[in-house]
Amino acid sequence: MPRESVNDLMAFLAVAREKNFTRAAAKLGVSQSALSHIVRQLETRLGIRLLTRTTRAVSLTDAGERLFLGVGPHFDEIEAQLETITEFREKPAGNIRITASDHAIRWIIWPKLQRFLPNNPDIKVELIRENGLSDIVTERFDGGVRMGEQVAKDMISTRIGPDFPFAVVGAPSYFDGKGVPEHPQDLVRHNCINERLPTYGGFWAWEFEDNGKEIRIRVEGQLAFNNSYQSVEAALEGLGLAYVPEDVALPHIAEGRLRRVLEAFSPPWDGYHLYYPSRRQSSPAFVALVDALRHRA
C-alpha cells in the first residue's frame, strides 16, 4: 500500500474517532485545513463520501462507517504491537490515556503521578476529567477509574485508593432558621445541591445507611452541578446542602466554614479502582503506571 494511502487512512480514522476536525488535527499535529484537505483527497480517490460535515458536527456516512469498522481495528492492533516491543527498551515508554473523575484525579492520581513521571521521562500520561462512566474500549482509553462497586465484572481492576465516606455539609448560615436534619429522610425538606451523572441521565441519589439498611434519597434544590468542587463552593455561600467526598469538605469543616450533618448515616464507600480490559494487551509503560497507582494500605 502506498505511504500516502496509509497516511490518508490514519487521518480519516482520527476524524472518525473524534467526530471533530479540530480535535483530530490537534492529535495528529497538523492544521485543521491540512487535515480536511487530506480527507477530501481520500474521498476523491475512492469516489465515495466518507464524512458528512456540518457547521456543528462531523458524522460518518454508511460507507465511512464500514471503512472505519473494517480498517480501524487493524491500525489498533498495529499500535498495540508497537507498544509491546517497548519492553526491549531500558526504560518503559509510550502514551497512556486514563479517564477519571475530578475527585479521583486530584486526590488519588495526581499525587502519585508527581512521583512517577520524573522517574519515567519516556512515558506520557493523558488524564481526561469525566464524571460519567465511559466505555473505555469504545473511547480508546487505556484505563478508567471508578469506585469499586461500579467496575464492570468483565474488567480487570486494581485498587488505587482507600475506602472513603461522603459528607453532607452546609454553611452555618444555611442552618439558621431551617433546623438541622437528624435523619436522611429529613433532607426532603431542605434545599439540596444536586449532582448530575451523564451516564445515568439524571441526578445522583444520595446514599446512606441506617442499621445496615441502605437508604437512597432523591433530593431537591435550586442548584445542580456535575462535580463536587462547585457543590462545595455553593454550600460555602449558604445556598444549600452539598453531598461530597469527605476529604473535599474536611478543610472547610476544620475552619468552621462548613458544618457536617448526618455523619452517623454515612458509611465508607468502596474506594477508587483503575480498570482495564486485558492484561495481554498491557504495555510495559501501562504496567509500570498501574504499579505506581496501586493502593498500599
CATH number 3.60.15.10 given to 3-88: no
Calculate mean pLDDT across residues 210-238.
93
What are the helix and strand counts (H, E) for the chain? 10, 16
pLDDT, one tens digit per residue, over 33-85 is 888 888 888 888 888 888 888 766 788 888 888 888 888 787 777 777 776 66
> Which CATH code for domain 94-151+279-293?
3.40.190.10
Q: Where are the domains of the chain?
A: 3-88, 94-151+279-293, 164-269
| Residue 132 predicted with pLDDT over 90 | no
Contact between residue 8 and residue 42 where contact means Cβ atoms under 8 Å apart: yes
pLDDT, one tens digit per residue, over 245-260 is 999 999 999 999 999 9
Rounded to two decimals, the pTM is: 0.68
What is the DSSP annotation of 111-126?
A: HHHHHHGGG-TTEEEE
The CATH number corresponding to 164-269 among 1.10.3720.10, 3.40.190.290, 1.10.260.40, 3.90.1170.50 equals 3.40.190.290
Decide if 94-151+279-293 and 164-269 have a common fold: yes
Contact between residue 283 and residue 90 where contact means Cβ atoms under 8 Å apart: no
Cα angle, residue 178 at apex, residues 172 and 180 outer, rounded to 5°:
65
